[in-house]
Amino acid sequence: MNVQIAPSWKLALNPLFEKPYFAQIAAHLKTERALHKTIYPKGSQIFNAFEQTHYDDVKVVILGQDPYHNPGQAMGLSFSVPDGIKIPPSLSNIFKELKADTGTSIPPTGNLTPWAQQGVLLLNAVLTVRENEPASHSKIGWMNFTDDVIKHLSDQKSRLVFILWGNFAIQKQILIDATKHKILKAAHPSPLSAYNGFFGCKHFSATNDYLVSHNKTPINWAL
């Protein structure tokens, strides 16, 4: 696999690219492409989270599950969709909570690249998916890779904010040293669960309060 990833990340994560699971991922994607399967996001955006958020700039991690599986949506950043694409229901609820928490206006776009460029790593646990088949790549090795990324960040950095929405993401807290980092947990923003603890979680203001308390620049959540 031709890994298109920012040099700072490549240096930090190079040992992971040598692990057997990475060869397994590459082989699986190559096979599916040979079978003319449509895979999202496009190849140049698989590692977009690492392109948009440089290694030295990481302050916050928002963990998603796997990419959107409908045409035009996936762009390699968790919960984000490109400009001009209808805002998905979970992201719409994220924006509602953002407004209720901070007063920030509901953004006109679902493109979260400005968050990423401020140090918010928008990381999906699984980085690819087959068209119209959610979780279709959940067992090809991606979670070994992203678990190792989370552990690396926990071990090598300090005073990060990890935002875990929903049971799937919350299970990842075992990878994070809670004595060094802030872990924020709530229900998933999906319409199926948002009213069970996502709305009212105030994670956006809590993130900035923590960053400011540790002399870090807060995130401008406006898009």
> Which residues are designated catalytic?
66
| End-to-end Cα spacing for the chain | 33
C-alpha span between 168 and 124 (Å, rounded): 11
Measure the CA–CA gap between 111 and 73, rounded to whole angstroms.
10
Residue holding tokens 């509901």?
106
Contact 187, 196 (CB under 8 A): yes
Two structure tokens written together for 87: 């805002």
Cβ-Cβ contacts under 8 Å for 44 (sequence gap 6 or more): 4
Contact indicator for 87, 111 with CB cutoff of 8 Å = no
Report yes or no: 190 and 167 within 8 Å, Cβ to Cβ: no
Tokens of 211: 């960053």
CA distances from 126 to 12, 42, 53, 65, 185 (A): 20, 14, 17, 6, 20
